Structure 1
Amino acid sequence: MKIGKSLYAFLLLFCCLTAVGFANTQPLAKKGVVDLRRQSFFEKIPLDGQWCFYWHQLINPNDTTKHNACIVDFPFKWNGFSLRGETLPSFGYATYQLTVLLPSKTPPLSLSVPDAYCAYRLYLNGKMVAEDGRVSNTPEGFEAHWQNNIVDVPTGVDTLKVVLQIANFVHSKGGISKSIVIGERRMIDLSRRRSEAIDLLLTGCLFMGGLFFLGLYIFGNRDKAILLFSLYSIVYSYRIIGVNNYELHTILPDISWYVTIRLEYISLFAGIGLFGLYTLYLYPRDIYKPIVYVIGSICFLFSAASAVLPPLYFTQLINPFLIVTVFCLVFIPYVYIKAYRNKRPGSGYALASSFSLMVVFSISLFHYWAIIGPLQLLNFAGYVSFFFLQSLILSHRVSFALKRARAQAEQGLKAKSEFLSTMSHEIRTPLNSVIGMSHLLLKTNPRPDQVEHLDVMLFSANNLLAIVNDILDYNKIEAGKIVFEHTEMDIASIAGNIVAGLQNSANDKGIGLKLQVDSALNNKVIGDPTRLFQVISNLVHNAIKFTQAGGVEVGITVKGQTEHDVTLSIWVKDTGIGISKDKQKLIFERFTQADSSTSRGFGGTGLGLAISKRILELQNSTLQLESEEGKGSTFYFIQTFLKSIKTVEQLKKEDNLPKEDNKPFTGIHILLVEDNPMNVLVAQKFLQRWGADIDVAANGLEALNKLDISKHQLVLMDLHMPVMDGYESARNIRAQGISIPIIALTANLPGEIQLKVKEAGIDDIMVKPFLPDELYRKVLHYI
């Protein structure tokens, strides 16, 4: 029942595709003239319709002699056409003519010219602009070649005289079977590049996949199904790069047409035969073998004919071979359905792949019959899904357990990557508003108790951001590639802020939380305050979480000091549940807690201790534990720091930003490009307090329209916006020769986007959420 519904859905899909193919509302040429004066060229327009056709005449575009024309429906193959009582052969030559009426003003236009049977010359307004092969009125001067070309339309013209000369002395068809299309130059070029990229990508996937399975066969269990599928993938990869768009002919323009035409047909005939044999060895008990042998014999006989006969003969085999193709289109899914009902290994993937195969071959057939367009993206998706599903079948045959484990691992890595990427952006964006608004509130003369609360909130928000960054950067921590800062920091202040920030959590549980700092610690030290905060914060947070009665104590003890350095013992002691001896090493593993019931009782991922341990190890320190089950735990580490030459009091005075009342940015005009209203508000408030005049643009396109180089001295550019993102907007600004400084505002980590930012011409990066002093220093530097 489900299979029947799927077949109905498939038929409905292609009825819709057929309807799309017929629903062509583009203007058609009439009696050799097509009027495009009212057309928009954003979408490609096929120059189809009635063209003037001159049989056995290669008319010079500048020839004023009147010739006897015949009106034909373009694209037009002349073989078999009845002209004045004569049936035209495939061998011959002819000229096609069309007059195109264009608007007086148009964007730069181009023509996309397909291949023809089997050589052509194209003239626009009397000038030859493209040639494929060599056109001649005799076989001696003729040379065949197939290649798709893009031709620029002359600018400033309102009439386009198109003359297309075609000659054929080798193929069973003569003329042209594909449309010439006109459109905006950038869209034509983009379409061509997209098609080339898809074909090259798909070719590479098929060819490398074929080599992989060939290696698997040679060094594996010698499964003939794997061998046949590898040969099929390698053979059929030529169909992608050597047919339709003819990228191979573009890459190798001097390659012999007689070689490529044989490869084109051999790859089709042999490909179907190889796939039939592959299916036979895949499910031998579910297939009627004589049918496969007959199909295989036909395919390889046709392949042999393509290798030895002249093109005139073997190119006529395509129509009878379509019967074989249509039969296979029904027969292969039938075999897979039977295998699925018999519960063969991998038959579910095979059945799914058969629908992809039906999509691919149906698109190819409907396109060959000129019912629909190439539908390249859908075709690409069909190919990818088909070969992917077939790969799953073979992987299943090699090792089902290995395949399942790998699929689960890949799915987990993908989910983790997507989750972390999403959480990074989603957490940073609101944090920008939280941190920014906290700073603004601190500037509005709050009460002393409010100042204390805002300080704690601001400190917690900043370090929440640091924790998010560290979690996202955990792979670097594991690999030892993390870079540590070496700045002056007040360890006592860091620990005090942690205790203050977590005091409410301790109070909610009815336990104590206090801090002890050795009075011998008189200097600031050199280190990484963010990493230190993360380690201590993880330890204190865990202690509170696992303590139900009593309290938590944080301590900093001076173990020894000299004139230049100081050795500190930093410890967190609790009266919690404790950890048994046999579980004390286990808790330092990532995503692990001492007991599976612990996560249910107390929550958490078990990641904090693993991160803390790795951070300390990369700084030549060790996280150590003393614990007794039921009595509590003490986590501690000993680390040596260089002393700062300045006292704590001196550095506190230097840390203050310039007073806002001085308005140091008075007279400075800044263009702020940001689509998030809260982020606009935060940045705007700070900059205006410093005296700057702000213009706001909601997206990159609006920024291009608002940017005034005589007025603005700086652009603050968000990177992810609707309509036009910051990268494209910056590229457009630089393309206009504008050298105004651009600072990117982004919630991404700098390492993820550094190359793209540089290529876009952006001068610097500010990561959201940004601090006021960071914004101040960046703006000050560039203005």
Structure 2
Amino acid sequence: MQKRRFSDKTLKILSHYLLSLLAILLVGCSAHTPQNQKPEYPLAQQGVLDLRAVEFNQQLIPLNGSWKWYWKTLLNPGERPPRFEYGNFPELWSTQTWNDQPLPSYGYATYSLTVLLPPSAPPLALKLPDIFTAYRLFVNDRELTRSGTPGTTPETTTPFWSTQVKSIPPTSDTLRLLLQVANFHHSKGGSNQTIFLGSADVLQVAADREYALDYLLTGCLFMGGLFFLGLFLFGRHETSLLYFSLFCLLYSYRIVGSDDYALHALFETASWSLLVHLEYLSLFISITVFVLYTNSLYPTDVNRHVIRLLTGICLAFTAATLLLPPVYFTRLINPFLGLMPIYIGYAFHVYWLAARRKRPGANYSLMSTGVLLAVFIIIILKYFQIAIPEDIVLFLGYIGFFFLQSLVLSYRFAFTLRQAKEQAEEGLRAKNEFLSTISHEIRTPLNAIIGLNHLMLQDNPRPDQRQHLDVMLFSANNLLHIVNDILDFNRFEAGKITLEAVPMDPARILQNVVATFQPVAREKSLSLQLSIDPRFTPKVIGDPNRLAQVVSNLVENAIKFTEQGQVTVSLTVDKQQPETSTLTFAVVDTGIGIAPEKQQLIFNQFTQVDSSLSRTYGGTGMGLAISRKILQVQQVELKLQSEPKKGSRFYFTQRFPRAAAPGPEPKENKLISGDKPLHGITILLVEDNAMNVLLAKNILSKLGASVDVANNGQEAVDMLDSSRHRLILMDLQMPVMDGYEATRIIRRRNETLPIIALTASLAQEVGDRVNDAGLDEILVKPYNPGSLARVILKHLKLAG
């Protein structure tokens, strides 16, 4: 049913366009036809055309009828006329007789006509078509114009085709026309097109309009061809783009190189043989390319054998044009025009199938084929002088066809881009899910490693054991730092970074950062110093975690690339106002430095100054890129001053709103002081990982709490006893029932005890789901004993 509705809609649209084109065709072609030359226009009778009763206003008078003509004679003005006959003009020689004998298409002849004019005729002009294949026209015994040079032999004849408008010099009330015609190079001889007489101004305006339309259409097709060729070369290498661009470029020559021969008017000395070869080749090759274009556009809807046959026929015509002289290959045009309905009909069939099968842009292809069919009907009618449409009709037809075909490619291009966008978004979602899963899987074992490490450090280990534990803790934190960097970078790419705006003390943050990196600096025998401007007052609003992250990355980077000397972290007050404080943070080292041409390179992700540094110093190369992105989100620029072998200075200046009160004290990674602060408290621990259960039980036991363990959410729901349990530590990702669903069920039972989420996922990723489920707070793994104790005491209101 869906396909039926689609087909009906397509038929309706197509019928609308075809009916519109048919209307244009009927109106345009009925403008003037050889059989309907306005009955009031007289015809020439026995070499005389009486126009004395005709008013020359906007009318074009065809000089058709019975002319005197002289076969095998090139009669010049003043010469005594030999024997003549009366013959119809225009008419090809192959359809005429002389002495009742049929004539060939090769030879020469002269035509004569006397035109009687009204005494008040305006300035007049003649519109002369191309006549096979050379002619010379005399008016009142003077040569008015010529196209090529007619002669009595092939050697003395120079063929050329052109359409001309020639003004007639002021004369009496009589025009004596003498037209010499010769053909030895074409399969047709004589004339099959009308010569028109009319007002010089009207004819010249009409000719200029015809040429203007031809040049405009040629320019549109040529530029369109170049555009699609550029898309193919520099964008998507899709063969349909290439074939359509070649079709546009080839057919653009047809517009100016045939019919009105606008191009010949610019190159009057060009070789006729070359021009006629180009005229025929541009037709045969363009149709070949169009067949290939259709094949590449909808390859699953064409019949390969039919495509090969149609292409082979076109190539055979092309080969004949290249190998044979014009007198032979010009015979091919009529058979080729006879084949055109087959080509167009098959294209219509292919596009119809594509439309039914909902191929991208097939509707436009179908409509364009209908336009093309109408255009070729007009061309064939005009070629065989059955109808002479207005030039604007063909112009609109060509514009409609190429516009619709451009829509096909544009639609396909947009469709492909949309698919690529969807695939990219799907890939980004898959990447985010993968990184989230990897983060969870890495953080889960790290939680046990780091937590147990902290517990072991609090058990007064031997000095050698403490050294090993410090190394282990440093390595685990380093791994956690790398994981955090990857996830941060991914969030920046996805545009999901969030910033806090809370009271903070930048000086205390710098002190903590320096204290954290002091052991690393001591290991390398470096001096790590902190300089705080004494004018600074610790009352600003910002994101303490992001500030700490940026400075930590800069300090870590400075220590990594400094082998001797010192690293200095400084905070300088640039401007302090009642509402804002402008501060400059800087990290200065005496390390290897960076060459000027490579200073921007180091801010790229996964990049160091050269590949050897990654082997010498290690690292992912993301720290500076992440720091820069964090600052860019806040409209702050990370700057660099550096000199090779002397050191570097990374700094940024940021304006902060001032806070009414100092920021909170920074959190310390030590166990809360006090003797068993959770004594008598029973906590329900919901966790499916045995190592994390061991860690949490050890921490809580040291705090004096009793612990009941549930391995999944369903067990937690069943085990919960609000008369015993004061708080729940809830893992979120568990088998059977996850922490979200378990929490929702508990809250629906009107339980109000605190439920703390313990998760290896990032808070930004699960925050909304945690709040919706009814959990009170998130503690991200890996956590240390102090963090766990603080969050429990906070919610039990036992802190202090």
TM-score (structure 2 length as normaliser): 0.49
Give the greater-gyration-radius structure (CA). Answer: 2
For CA contacts below 8 A with separation 6 or more, give which structure has more relative contact order: 2
